[in-house]
Amino acid sequence: MGSRKGNSPVEQLGLGTGTIGKKSGGRIWGVFYGMRSGMILLALVAALSILGTLIPQGHTAEFYAQNFSGVKLSAIQFFQLDRVYSAWWYGFLILMLSINLILCNLRRFPKLLKEWRLPMVPETILPQHGTFYGTYTAPFGEPPKIAVETFFKRAGFKSFKTKETTDGLYLYASRCKAGLLGSWLSHLGLLLIIVFFFIGKLLGFEAFVYGVPGTDQVVAGTPYRIAIEAFDIEYRQDYSIHQYLTDLILYDPENGFRASGRTQVNAPFRSQGMSIYQNGTGWALDVVMQKADGSEISRTLYTSEVFEEPGESIALHYLAFYPDFIMKDGQPYTATPFLNRPVLLYSLFEEGRQVRTNVAMPGEPIRYGDTTFSFYQPRLFTVLQVVRDPGTIPAGAGGMLLLTGLFLSFYWVPKSLYGYVGADGKVWVSGFTKKNPIIYHESLSALWQTLKMGE
- Domain ranges in the chain are 1-119, 124-176+413-455, 203-280+385-401, 282-381
Find the distance separating the first CA and the last CA of the chain, reported in whole Å: 9
- Give the C-alpha separation, 197 to 410, whole Å: 26
Instruction: Please tell me the predicted confidence (pLDDT) of residue 364.
Output: 95
By CB atoms closer than 10 A (0-12, 13-18, 19+), residue 18 is middle
pLDDT tens track, the chain, 455 positions: 444 444 444 444 333 333 434 444 555 556 666 778 878 888 888 888 888 888 887 666 777 877 788 888 888 888 888 888 888 888 888 888 888 888 888 888 888 887 777 655 556 666 666 666 666 554 445 677 887 888 888 888 888 888 888 888 888 888 888 888 898 999 899 999 989 988 888 888 888 999 999 999 999 888 999 999 999 999 999 889 999 999 999 999 988 899 999 999 999 999 998 999 999 999 999 999 998 888 999 999 999 899 998 888 999 999 999 999 999 888 899 999 999 999 999 999 999 899 999 999 999 999 999 999 999 999 999 999 999 888 888 999 999 999 999 999 888 888 888 888 887 777 888 888 888 788 888 888 888 777 654 44
Neighbour tally for 158: CB within 10 Å: 9
Taking alpha carbons only, the member of 315, 312, 334 closest to residue 325 is 334
Are the C-beta atoms of 378 and 338 separated by less than 8 Å?
Answer: no
Exposure pattern of 285-299 as b/e (b: 16+ CB <10 Å)? bbbbbbeeeeeeeee
- Give the C-alpha separation, 292 to 159, whole Å: 95
Identify each DSSP E strand in 199-313 by its residue range.
205-211, 216-218, 225-235, 241-251, 258-264, 269-271, 274-290, 296-301, 306-307
Taking alpha carbons only, the member of 42, 10, 185 closest to residue 111 is 10
- Give the C-alpha separation, 247 to 230, whole Å: 5
- Give the C-alpha separation, 141 to 133, whole Å: 22
What's the CATH number for 124-176+413-455? 3.30.310
Instruction: Please tell me the predicted confidence (pLDDT) of residue 355.
Output: 95
Instruction: Please tell me the predicted confidence (pLDDT) of residue 81.
Output: 85
DSSP state letter for 339: S
